[in-house]
């Protein structure tokens, strides 16, 4: 998701303060699985909307449906109905309500709501700014293709680019690595990039580990980096202290076939610090809020998403973009 301009961010803050908080599910999330039943229920028939509930000129129901098809279409079991698009007290801001169900009729239909902003490019859902429109991920994809310059596995082509934003000291990032290894095996036509995003406020050794990673890539290439990264994640507990980090990082460097003294010297150089700062800046510009996050041709997905669902999303996004996935 792309950060708005400073002027637009100020307007967003005022809108967010003046509009009620939506106590509904986040738009990108799938409805929770229903408990199994002894016999299949009939497919739900979502009630048809009342034309009187469409008081706002923008966005149109067609625009909302196109957005939802892009965002939710990977899930064949989901159905929805745009229920209302209404004016709000804020000029140009519309409240959109969508009924959501499943084809099997196992779930009671739920409600998702969001606010569409005047520029037609963003919505607010759960107080989060989300790109909107028929191609909501296009801007993020273009930025990632231009600036995601971390080590990669797979294809040199960026037609299908999966960018992993990860922090070496993040336990959830460690847990995501089996998913990443499966993606490398299952999607040989994808370019799978490791983009380090150290969250220093909660992980004091993450920036240092990122700097080592920059230097390992510089001196040994992508292959050496992924050997180094696997070793750092395996020894992640050692990053809990400065001395432990030194031992853990140096051990990982040796496993990557490089000289720890040379890597340490490189990691202390201002140019390396600038490279790490550029990585953080990219994540910030893309509004990456947590690690591990994947961008699949610009689409944000949690890297720890169950693998079958993650694979389904990647195949769907590749189809949307008209690129080969496997």
pLDDT digits (tens, 9 = 90+) for 133-169: 999 999 999 999 999 999 999 999 999 999 999 999 9
Over the stretch 220-279, which tens digit does the pLDDT of each residue have?
A: 999 999 999 999 999 999 999 999 999 999 999 999 999 999 999 999 999 999 999 999
Over the stretch 22-33, which tens digit does the pLDDT of each residue have?
A: 333 333 343 444
DSSP 182-240: HHHHH-TTSEEEEEE---TTT-TTHHHHHHHHHHHHHHHHHHHHHHHHHHHHHTGGGGG
pLDDT of residue 9: 38
Q: How far is Cα 111 from Cα 85, in angstroms, rounded to an integer?
A: 13
Helix (H, G, I), strand (E, B) or coil at 131: strand
* Cβ neighbours for 38, distance < 8 A, ≥ 6 positions apart: none
Over the stretch 33-71, which tens digit does the pLDDT of each residue have?
A: 444 444 455 555 788 999 999 999 999 999 999 999 999
Instruction: Assign residue 316 a region (left: φ > 0; alpha: ψ between -120 and 50; beta: otherwise).
Output: alpha
Q: Class of the 139-321 domain? A: alpha beta
Domain with CATH 3.40.30.10 in the chain: 139-321
Q: Contact, 276 vs 198, CB < 8 A? A: yes
Q: How far is Cα 311 from Cα 231, in angstroms, rounded to an integer?
A: 26
Angle between helices 270-285 and 138-147 (to 10 degrees): 170
Over the stretch 281-319, which tens digit does the pLDDT of each residue have?
A: 999 999 998 999 999 999 999 999 999 999 999 999 999
pTM listed for this prediction = 0.85
pLDDT of residue 236: 97
Q: What's the CA angle centered on 141, arms 267 and 317, to 5 degrees?
A: 120
| CA distances from residue 311 to 79, 103, 155 in whole angstroms, order as listed | 21, 21, 17
Helix (H, G, I), strand (E, B) or coil at 167: coil
Helix (H, G, I), strand (E, B) or coil at 245: helix
Q: What is the radius of gyration, based on Cα positions, of the chain?
A: 22
Q: How far is Cα 283 from Cα 296, in angstroms, rounded to an integer?
A: 14
């Amino acid at each position: 998701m792309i950060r708005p301009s400073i002027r637009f961010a100020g307007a967003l803050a005022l809108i967010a303060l003046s509009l009620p908080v939506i106590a509904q599910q986040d738009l990108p999330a799938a409805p929770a699985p229903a408990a199994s039943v002894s016999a299949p229920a009939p497919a739900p028939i979502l009630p048809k909307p009342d034309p009187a509930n469409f008081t706002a000129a923008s966005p149109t129901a067609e625009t909302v449906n196109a957005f939802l098809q892009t965002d939710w279409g990977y899930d064949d079991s989901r159905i929805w109905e745009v229920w209302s698009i209404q004016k709000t007290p804020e000029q140009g801001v519309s409240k959109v309500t969508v009924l959501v169900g499943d084809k099997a009729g196992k779930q009671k239909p739920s409600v998702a709501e969001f606010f569409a902003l005047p520029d037609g490019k963003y919505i607010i859902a759960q107080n989060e700014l989300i790109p909107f429109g028929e191609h909501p991920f296009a801007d993020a994809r273009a930025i990632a293709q231009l600036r995601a310059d971390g080590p990669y596995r797979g294809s040199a082509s960026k037609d299908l680019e999966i960018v992993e934003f990860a922090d070496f000291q993040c336990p959830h990032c460690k847990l995501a690595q089996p998913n990443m290894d499966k993606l490398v095996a299952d999607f040989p036509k994808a370019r799978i990039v490791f983009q380090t995003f150290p969250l220093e406020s909660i992980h004091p050794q993450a920036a240092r580990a990122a700097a080592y990673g920059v230097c390992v890539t510089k001196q040994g290439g992508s292959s050496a980096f992924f050997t180094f990264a696997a070793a750092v994640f395996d020894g992640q507990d050692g990053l809990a202290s400065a001395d432990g980090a030194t031992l853990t990082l140096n051990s990982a460097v040796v496993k990557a076939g490089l000289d720890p003294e040379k890597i340490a010297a490189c990691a202390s150089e201002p140019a390396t610090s600038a490279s790490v700062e550029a990585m953080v800046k990219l994540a910030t510009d893309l509004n990456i809020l947590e690690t591990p996050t994947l961008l699949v041709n610009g689409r944000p997905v949690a890297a720890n998403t169950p693998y079958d669902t993650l694979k389904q999303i990647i195949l769907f996004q590749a189809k949307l973009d008209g690129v080969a996935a496997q």
